[in-house]
Amino acid sequence: MLLEVRDLHVRYGGIHALKGVSFHVEEGEIVTLIGANGAGKSTILRSISGLVEVESGEIIFQGKRIRGLPPHHMVSLGISHVPEGRKLFANLTVNENIEMGAFTVRDRRQVAQAAEKVFQRFPRLRERANQLAGTLSGGEQQMLAIARGLMSRPKLLLLDEPSMGLSPILVREVFDLIRDINRSGTSILLVEQNAFMALAIARRAYVLETGRIVLEGAAEDLKKDAQVRSAYLGQAVGPSG
C-alpha cells in the first residue's frame, strides 16, 4: 500500500475539520475525494503534505509513519502537492517556477533532465519558458502548477481542484493530462469539485460530508449511486432510483 490514513482528526481553533477520516491509496491508482465546499477535502491533502497540524491519527507512506514531518521532508519522500489556486510565483518566469519544484534536488543534471521531461509533456510551457507566470492564461497556469509538482518526480501527486475556473475544453485537457501522468507511473490523490470528471478517471472514490467519509467504493459504482448522483452529479433521481 502506498498511502494509508487512519482515524485522522484535525481542528482549526474550535472547528473540528476532520473527524476520524480513514482511507488508502494503492500503487498506481487515481483515488478521488469528492464532497461539498467545507467538507474537509483540502484539509486532508494539507494534512498529508505537512501543511496543517494533525490532532490525532496516523499517516503512513510506503510503510513509514510521516505525520508531523515538515513539508520539505514530504517532498523528499516522494509526495508532491499541487495546491488549490495554483499558488504560482507570479513574478518569476515559467522556467524559474519549474525549477522551484525541484528545490530538494541537489544534482543540477537531474533538475535539467526533469525539466526537459516536463517540457516534453507541456510543450506550451516550453514556448513560454521566459514569460512571467502571472501573465499566463488560467489553463497555462494550471499546467505550470502541475509541471512544478512533477519536478520532484513524486510517487504520489496530491491535486487540489485542478479544474477550478477553467473552461470545459480546458477541463477535459487537464483531466487527460492527469490520466497520462498516472499511466506513466505516478499515483494520484485528487480533490475535485467536478465530481463527474473525477469519477470518470478515478479507480476508487471517497465521499466526504462535514469532515467524515460517508461513502466509499469503486468510482464506477459511485457514479451510479443515487445519493451521489443527486448531491454531486446534478442528476435528479426519481422514485425508482
202-214 pLDDT tens trace: 999 999 999 999 9
* Mean pLDDT value across the chain: 92
What pTM, to 2 d.p., does this model score? 0.92
What whole-number distance in Å separates Cα of residue 29 and Cα of residue 201? 10
Give the C-alpha distances (Å, rounded to integers) separating 186 from 115, 155, 178.
17, 5, 10
Arch. (CATH architecture) of 30-52+69-232: 3-Layer(aba) Sandwich (3.40)
* Distance, CA of 137 to CA of 114 (rounded, Å): 24
Burial 2-30 (b: 16+ CB within 10 A, else e): bbbbbebbbbeeeeebbeebebebeeebb
| Per-residue pLDDT tens over the stretch 110-159 | 888 889 999 999 999 999 999 999 999 999 999 999 999 999 899 999 99
The β-bridge partners of 79 are 156
For 207, the grid coordinates are 465521499
Please give the average per-residue pLDDT across 82-100, as a whole number: 92
Which has the closest alpha carbon to 66: 159, 149, 4? 4
Tell whether the model's pLDDT for residue 239 goes beyond 60: no
| Domain boundaries of the chain, sorted by first residue | 30-52+69-232
pLDDT value at residue 234: 65
